[in-house]
Amino acid sequence: MASPRRRIYGRALQPSSSKTLKSQPHILSLFLWIPLLFLLMGLEASHSTPTVVRGLLGGSVILPLNISVDMEIEHIAWNDPQNALALVTPRSDIIIMDRSYQGRINIFTQNNSLSINKLTWKDAGSYKAQINQKNSEVTINEEFFLHIYGEFQGASVDFGLLFLKGRAFFLSLSLQEFLSLGQRESSHWSFSPNSINIDVKSEKQPI
C-alpha cells in the first residue's frame, strides 16, 4: 500500500538583488563588532558624573581620590583640560608632563589625591585620573570639573584678557553705572570653559 503523499507548500526562492547581496557583508560585520565593542567598554570603569570642585583665584584646591589602602597601584595618569598633566608612580617622583604646573601640584601619599596651588583662570575645566592597578586589566577613571572663582571690589573693571581652554576672550566691562554716592559694589565672578557668570551686589553705606 502506497503511503499518502505529503504536499509541501512553499515559494520558490528568487535570486536576491545585487543591492541586497552587497548589504549583507556590512550587516554581518556589524554583528561581529558589537560584542567586541562591549568587551572593550568593559575594560574601563568610570563615574558618569564628574565631581565638581571649586577654587578661588590664586588659592589652592584638592581633587580627591578615594583609593583603598589595600589597592596596589601601578601608576596614576592625571590629565588636565588640555593635555597630560602628571604621571604618578608609588614610591617614585612625580613626572610632570605640563610645565605650567611645575611647582604648583602635590600628591598626597595617603590616597594619591592631587593638590593644585596658585590657581589661574586657565586651570578651570575638566580633569581625569586614570588609575591602573597591578594584576588588573581594568582602568579606573575618576573625573572632576573645576570651577574658578574670583572676587573684585572697587569702582570698576575696565577690561581684562582671559584664556580658557586655549581660547582668548577679551572682556570690556564697566561697573561705573552701578556706582553712586553712598554705595559700594562687590562683584563675584565664576568662570568655566564655556561660560562667565558675574553676580553684582550693591550695598547702601551710611553717609
Asked whether residue 185 carries a pLDDT value surpassing 70, the answer given is: no
The C-alpha atoms of residue 65 and residue 131 are separated, in whole angstroms, by 10
Residue 127: per-residue pLDDT: 94
- The stretch 152-168 carries a mean pLDDT of 42
- Rounded (to 5) percent helix, strand, coil in the chain: 15, 45, 40
Q: 177 and 187 in contact (C-beta within 8 Å)?
A: no
Residue 11: per-residue pLDDT: 38
Q: Is 175 or 59 the better-scoring residue by pLDDT? A: 59
Residue 18: per-residue pLDDT: 45
Domain boundaries, the chain: 44-148, 151-204
User: Minimum mean pLDDT among 6-10, 20-24, 51-55, 184-188: which range?
Assistant: 6-10
pTM over the 0.85 mark? no
Burial class (CB in 10 A: 0-12, 13-18, 19+), 178: middle
Are β-strands 114-116 and 61-63 bridged in parallel, bridged antiparallel, or unpaired? antiparallel
Residue 142: per-residue pLDDT: 93
Q: 119 and 53 in contact (C-beta within 8 Å)?
A: no
Q: Is 26 or 145 the better-scoring residue by pLDDT? A: 145
Question: What confidence tens digit (pLDDT) does each residue in 92-148 have?
Answer: 778 998 888 999 999 888 888 999 999 988 888 899 999 999 888 888 999 999 988
The C-alpha atoms of residue 100 and residue 132 are separated, in whole angstroms, by 25
User: Minimum mean pLDDT among 124-128, 155-159, 167-171, 172-176: which range?
Assistant: 155-159
Between CA 144 and CA 155, with CA 150 as vertex, the angle to 5 degrees is: 165
- The stretch 31-48 carries a mean pLDDT of 45
Place of cell 572632576: 144
44-148 homologous superfamily: Immunoglobulins (2.60.40.10)
Q: Spell out the alpha helix ranges (H) of the chain.
A: 18-41
The three cell numbers of residue 121 are 583662570
Task: Pick the closest to residue 16 from 8, 24, 28 (CA basis).
Answer: 24
Task: Tell whether the torsion through CA atoms of 54, 56, 58 and 64 is positive or negative.
Answer: negative
Q: 159 φ, ψ to 5°?
A: -160, 165
